[in-house]
């Protein structure tokens, strides 16, 4: 057994104890059941399939006091209009659709990467376009927003990068997962632009494992949750997922074990995150995580596989700018949360495709390593 495998088994044994799940009253809908059947079936026979979710609804038992909706937009990656208008058009479309929600959204969460190169003009352009949305707006940073001036302009526009509020029986928390990257720039005397360029790489071998919550913010989170009933719902917004999905692309936070330790006493935790630009779902310990779409472009799934509970979206058509992207309309009603991916360019719901013969090397989606090594 390799060291990596041994470590993963130890982590899994500590976190995935028998009978522990995000919520004991988790309900599987028929649609989710079909999804799980499909992915397990595909893995068994070694074939490649894809699913086209237009409305991918995740139904989970919840305890909100009264029904309400909110919206999520993230990863708009704006350039200035003089450079690129395609991304401008997409955030504009998303903002108009959020404003047209009926019933309306109680608030909008912007989940980071509003800008592409962290320029003040890009951040200001995002603010201007989002004025279309009249509901209160809450922002968390992405790495693209931060590393040109280390968050100076972002802070001026949006204030503290971590925050909390209660709304109709739910405690909402926003966390900053991007500002605590290890200093890779000073010794190499990088300019702010060079530093930013490295953060703009998906495969950030120079920037390294930059995603993290940090001890001080974990202490703040612990205090923030201390007066909250452990059975009541907590929703945590982050740019990066709060578990280990694929570290080479910072599809994680490096201190996710500490995050889990803080959250472990709470039975009803949902982490909604951006950064991955794809349909993604996972459960770890008592927390479920839902990955959100970008408006800018979809990222591929990690080469080592996806969390076993993920129902993957089919590979996007690179010739269609509006394929595989969008935003999310989230409802909390009748003691459950529903996440509806508003995925532009999809005409059908849950259609199973044949192996994608247009690819010279068909993408094989399978459970990631961490999910393949059980039972524990
Ligand atoms: Fe992004
Ligand atoms: Fe990001």
User: Do 230 and 236 contact (CB within 8 A), yes or no?
Assistant: no
Phi, psi for residue 281 in degrees, rounded to 5: -145, 140
Q: What is the pLDDT of residues 356-373, one digit of tens each?
A: 334 444 445 566 666 766
**What is the structure's pLDDT at 373?**
62
Residue 112 CA, ligand 2 centroid: distance in Å: 7
Return the structure tokens found at 167.
Answer: 């709304």
| DSSP assignment string, 258-318 | HHHHHHTT-S-EEEEE-SS-S-EEEEETTEEEEE---SS-PPPPPTT-B-TT--PBPPP-T
**What is the structure's pLDDT at 13?**
64
Residue 149 CA, ligand 2 centroid: distance in Å: 16
Residue 123 CA, ligand 2 centroid: distance in Å: 14
**Domains assigned to the chain:** 3-353 (3.60.21.10)
Scan for tokens 């951006």, then name that residue.
274
CA–CA distance, 271 with 140 (Å, rounded to integer): 13
State the average pLDDT for the chain.
Answer: 82
What is the bridge-based pairing of β-strands 170-174 and 68-73? unpaired
User: Do 71 and 328 contact (CB within 8 A), yes or no?
Assistant: yes
Strand, coil or helix: 148: coil
Residue 217 CA, ligand 2 centroid: distance in Å: 19
Residue 185 CA, ligand 2 centroid: distance in Å: 19
Closest CA to 91 of 70, 68, 111: 111
Residue 292 CA, ligand 1 centroid: distance in Å: 10
Q: Where residue 286 falls among pLDDT bands split at 50, 70, 90?
A: confident
Scan for tokens 């592409």, then name that residue.
116
Residue 277 CA, ligand 1 centroid: distance in Å: 6
**Count of other CB atoms within 10 angstroms of residue 233:** 24
CA–CA distance, 132 with 265 (Å, rounded to integer): 39
Residue 33 CA, ligand 2 centroid: distance in Å: 31
Residue 84 CA, ligand 2 centroid: distance in Å: 19
- 123 vs 44, more confident: 123
Residue 45 CA, ligand 1 centroid: distance in Å: 34
Residue range 6-23: average pLDDT? 60
Residue 202 CA, ligand 1 centroid: distance in Å: 9
23-32, 103-112, 264-273: range with lowest mean pLDDT:
23-32
- 11 vs 183, more confident: 183
282 CB-side CA count, 13 A: 27
**What is the structure's pLDDT at 66?**
80
What distance lies between CA 225 and its chain's CA centroid?
21
User: Do 233 and 270 contact (CB within 8 A), yes or no?
Assistant: yes
**What is the structure's pLDDT at 18?**
60
Instruction: Give percent helix, percent strand, percent coil of the chain, each to the nearest 5.
Output: 25, 20, 55
- Judged by its nearest atom, the ligand closest to the C-alpha of residue 143 is 2
Scan for tokens 């959020």, then name that residue.
98
Instruction: Enumerate residues with CB within 5 Å of ligand 1 (an ion).
Output: 75, 113
Return the structure tokens found at 178.
Answer: 């991007």
User: Do 246 and 304 contact (CB within 8 A), yes or no?
Assistant: yes
**What is the structure's pLDDT at 92?**
97
């Amino acid at each position: 057994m390799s060291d990596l495998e041994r470590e993963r088994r130890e982590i899994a044994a500590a976190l995935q104890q028998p009978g522990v799940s995000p919520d004991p009253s988790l309900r599987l809908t028929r649609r989710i059941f079909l999804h799980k059947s499909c992915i397990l079936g595909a893995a068994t026979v070694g074939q490649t399939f894809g699913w086209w979710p237009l409305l991918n609804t995740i139904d989970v038992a919840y305890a909100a006091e009264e029904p309400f909706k909110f919206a999520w937009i993230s990863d708009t990656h704006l350039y200035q209009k003089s450079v690129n208008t395609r991304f401008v058009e997409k955030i504009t479309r998303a903002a108009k659709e959020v404003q047209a929600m009926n019933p309306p959204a109680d608030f909008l969460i912007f989940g980071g990467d509003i800008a592409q190169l962290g320029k003040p003009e890009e951040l200001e352009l995002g603010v201007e376009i989002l004025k279309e949305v009249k509901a209160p707006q809450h922002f968390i940073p992405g790495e693209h927003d931060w590393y040109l001036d280390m968050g100076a302009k972002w802070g001026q526009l949006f204030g503290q990068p971590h925050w909390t509020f209660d709304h109709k029986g739910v405690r909402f928390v926003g966390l900053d997962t991007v500002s605590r990257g290890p200093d890779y720039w000073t010794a190499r005397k990088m300019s702010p632009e060079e530093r930013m360029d490295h953060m703009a790489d998906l495969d950030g071998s120079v920037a390294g494992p930059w995603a993290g919550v940090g001890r001080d913010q974990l202490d703040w989170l612990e205090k923030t949750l201390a007066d909250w009933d452990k059975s009541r719902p907590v929703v945590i917004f982050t740019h990066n997922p709060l578990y280990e999905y694929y570290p080479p692309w910072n599809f994680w936070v490096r201190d996710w074990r500490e995050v889990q330790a803080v959250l472990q006493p709470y039975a009803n935790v949902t982490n909604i995150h951006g950064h991955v630009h794809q349909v993604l779902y996972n459960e770890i310990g008592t927390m479920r995580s839902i990955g959100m779409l970008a408006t800018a472009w979809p990222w591929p799934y990690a080469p080592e596989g996806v969390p076993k509970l993920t129902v993957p979206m089919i590979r996007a058509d690179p010739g269609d700018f509006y394929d595989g992207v969008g935003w999310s309309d989230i409802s909390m009603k009748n003691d459950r949360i529903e996440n509806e991916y508003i995925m532009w360019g999809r005409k059908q719901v849950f259609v199973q495709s044949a192996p994608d013969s247009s690819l010279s090397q068909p993408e094989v989606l399978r459970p990631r390593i961490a999910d393949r090594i059980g039972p524990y």
